[in-house]
Amino acid sequence: MTTDEGRGSLRRMLRRLTASEAEIEAQQLQRESARCGAVPVLQCGRGQVVSVSGRLRTVVYTPRTNLPALEADLYDGSDVVTLVWLGRRHIVGIEPGRHLTARGRVAVRDDRKVIYNPYYELEPSK
C-alpha cells in the first residue's frame, strides 16, 4: 500500500466517524439509487423523462374541490421529488419509509420537482 492509499483510507474512515447520521443515510441512499440505474434527483430537469429511486419521506392525501390527489416526497440522498397521483386517495404500499423506483416526466411546481402519475415499482421491505 502506498502512502497516498493509506491517507485516502484514513480520510474515508475519519469521514465516516465524524459524519452525521443524516449524511450517512444520504450516502447510502445515493449508492442504492445508483445500483438501480436511477438518475439522481438533483440532476433531473424540467421536461426530462427519468427513473428515480429512493425512500418515501411523507405521503399526504390532498383533497381538492374537483380532483383528489395523493402526494409523496421521494428522497434519494441528493434531493427530493414529489410524486403526485391524481384522482387517488390511497395506494396500497405507498407509505412513509417505503423504498421505490418511479419513472415519469419531471415538472416544476412552486419551485419543486414533481412527477405526475408516475409508473412505480415498490422495493421489497427490508
pLDDT tens digits along 26-69: 677 677 776 777 888 888 899 999 999 999 999 999 887 788 89
pTM assigned to the model? 0.78
Cell 411546481 belongs to: 109
pLDDT tens digits along 73-102: 999 988 899 999 998 989 999 999 899 999
Which residues, listed in sequence order, are joined to residue 72 by a DSSP beta bridge? 59, 83
Q: How far apart are the first and last CA of the chain?
A: 37
